[in-house]
């Protein structure tokens, strides 16, 4: 059995770099938001609050590690994270790698998002940092399944030094589970703060998708429900059924039946989740529809949102971004 027990060393507080690491896109967006806050944002008050939580100087060096979908998130932001390799190995190898990284980097704090239940490397880093007396700060990118994701490689509950959530309701949920409340802080979602401060410049994807100006471009934001079921977590939605329903509705020139918003000359773009197995869309290649249907991950979420007339899906990172960017959003029920 691995151990995550360790003693924090206050003498090292603020002296080393900030070690940042993520796999999932939501987590990466939070870390990108932190980078933006520390180096680009004009919000000095919020910056000071996060610097206090991290217990570091504003000029602390950032050591950014990413793998899997997170790499592209950093690329879209315009910053090259250190790509540590997409494939996660077994727990022992990941823990050994994490221990070495933390020892070599000698950070004052490890900052991660709250990667999903199948993420091994992130949890290995939590345990390695704790074992070596390095503070662990987690930035939660959404409000769901937070406690269910707070576990270590031994499947025991993991209590970071600090977890940042976006509202009091979520904080109260931790209190009900006897989580140490001094560890739970409520601060604005940094991914959302960066989006709200972002400009409207984007790369128009309509021509690349093959859509004409008279077509109504509908962007369906897919999810990883089927993949999570395979990992042991059953989500309260079925993205495949949502897509089936949307296709049937668009055949009637509506976003949902019987009385969803009317769309003329629909053109559907299915945007897979970065961790989604796109083989689930293979059947669409031979299917016949009365309107154009493509599957595309082209461009950044911002590009895809602004290139579309409607953004359709369940609440998620991309749908939340579309709402913040004041796009036309049609929310599908669970």
* Claim to verify: residue 172 and residue 31 sit in the same structural domain: yes
* Claim to verify: residue 289 and residue 153 sit in the same structural domain: no
Q: What is the dihedral of CA 220, 138, 149, 224, to 10 degrees?
A: 20
Where among 167, 197, 227 does a domain terminate?
Answer: 197
pLDDT band at 2 (very low <50, low <70, confident <90, very high): low
* Claim to verify: residue 178 and residue 318 sit in the same structural domain: no
Place of tokens 């995550």: 4
* Claim to verify: residue 115 and residue 84 sit in the same structural domain: yes
Is residue 235 within 8 Å of 229, Cβ to Cβ? yes
CATH of the domain at 173: 3.40.50.2000
Where among 140, 175, 197 does a domain terminate?
Answer: 197
pLDDT number for residue 229: 74
Give tens-digit pLDDT for 147-204: 889 999 999 999 999 999 999 998 988 888 888 999 999 999 999 999 999 988 999 9
Number of domains, the chain: 2
End-to-end CA distance of the chain: 39
* Claim to verify: residue 188 and residue 126 sit in the same structural domain: yes
Give tens-digit pLDDT for 248-286: 999 999 999 999 999 999 999 999 999 898 899 999 989
284 vs 18: CA distance, rounded Å: 45
Where among 153, 180, 197 does a domain terminate?
Answer: 197
pLDDT number for residue 252: 96
* Claim to verify: residue 151 and residue 220 sit in the same structural domain: no
Query: Does some domain include residue 192?
Result: yes
Query: What is the span of the domain harbouring residue 152?
Result: 10-197
Give tens-digit pLDDT for 31-82: 999 999 999 999 999 999 999 999 998 889 999 999 999 999 999 999 989 9
* Claim to verify: residue 191 and residue 291 sit in the same structural domain: no
* Claim to verify: residue 85 and residue 191 sit in the same structural domain: yes
% the chain with pLDDT above 70: 96
Q: What is the DSSP letter of 315?
A: S
């Amino acid at each position: 059995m691995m151990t995550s027990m360790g003693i924090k060393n206050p003498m090292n507080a603020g002296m080393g770099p900030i070690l940042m690491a993520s796999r999932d896109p939501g987590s990466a967006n939070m870390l990108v938001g932190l980078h933006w806050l520390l180096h680009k944002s004009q919000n000095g008050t919020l910056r000071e609050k996060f610097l206090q939580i991290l217990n570091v100087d504003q000029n602390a060096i950032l050591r950014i590690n990413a793998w899997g979908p997170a790499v592209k998130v950093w690329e879209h932001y315009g910053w090259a994270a250190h790509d540590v390799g997409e494939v996660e190995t077994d727990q022992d190898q990941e823990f050994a790698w994490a221990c070495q990284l933390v020892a070599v980097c000698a950070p004052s704090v490890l900052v991660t998002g709250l990667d999903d239940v199948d993420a091994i490397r992130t949890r290995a880093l939590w345990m390695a940092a704790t074992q070596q007396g390095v503070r662990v700060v987690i930035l939660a990118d959404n409000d769901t399944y937070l406690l269910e994701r707070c576990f270590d490689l031994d499947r025991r509950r993991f209590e970071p030094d600090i977890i940042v959530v976006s509202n009091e309701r979520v904080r109260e949920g931790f209190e009900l589970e006897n989580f140490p409340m001094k560890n739970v802080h409520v601060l604005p979602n940094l991914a959302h703060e960066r989006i709200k401060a972002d400009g409207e410049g984007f790369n128009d994807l309509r021509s690349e998708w093959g859509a004409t100006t008279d077509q109504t471009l509908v962007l369906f934001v897919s999810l990883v429900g089927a993949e999570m079921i395979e990992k042991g977590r059953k989500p309260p939605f079925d993205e495949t059924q949502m897509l089936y329903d949307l296709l049937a509705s668009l055949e009637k020139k509506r976003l949902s039946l019987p009385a969803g918003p009317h769309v003329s000359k629909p053109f559907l773009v299915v945007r897979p989740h970065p961790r989604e197995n796109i083989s689930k869309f293979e059947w669409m290649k031979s299917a016949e529809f009365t309107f154009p249907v493509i599957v595309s991950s082209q461009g950044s979420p911002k590009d895809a949102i602004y290139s579309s007339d409607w953004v359709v899906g369940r609440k998620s990172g991309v749908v939340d971004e579309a709402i913040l960017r004041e796009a036309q959003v049609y929310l599908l029920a669970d």
